[in-house]
Amino acid sequence: DLYDYVRLHGYCNDVNSLLRDMNVGIVASDFEAFGRTTVEFMGTYMPVISVNTGATKELVVDNYNGFLFQSGNEKSLAHAMERTINIFNENAEDKFCCNARKIAEEYSLDKHLAQVYALYKTLLANE
């Protein structure tokens, strides 16, 4: 009965339209190199449940903007999901959502591109 509770959308040109209807993002990939999906979730004021590997463990601060779980441990994932449900039951989601957005803003594409550009300028100036 998983399809009664979970939607697998596949490819979408307008991700923001999907994210607006969501309350929580889950990132379960062990090999997120940058964490773009995580940042997209947080950028739309969404707390994130994330595996504690790769780039996501640098983006998700446990009990601040989401919850981390142990890779390959479904009980740990279930516990993170339960903790997330509790923040909504306690009406504490605003704090988590604002914290998520705050971290996402640190990883904006414009900021990232400016940092890469500055690095290239420094490297070229030193030649």
Tell me the three state secondary structure of residue 69.
strand
Q: How confident is the model at residue 11 (pLDDT cuts 50, 70, 90)?
A: confident
Q: What is the mean pLDDT of residues 17-45?
A: 87
More confident residue, 16 or 51: 51
Rounded distance between C-alpha atoms, residue 50 and residue 42, angstroms: 12
Q: Tell the burial category of 39 from Cβ atoms under 10 Å away from its Cβ (0-12, 13-18, 19+).
A: buried
Q: What is the mean pLDDT of residues 49-61?
A: 90
Q: How confident is the model at residue 68 (pLDDT cuts 50, 70, 90)?
A: very high
Rounded distance between C-alpha atoms, residue 52 and residue 18, angstroms: 25
Mean pLDDT taken over the chain:
89
pTM of the model: 0.79
pLDDT number for residue 65: 95
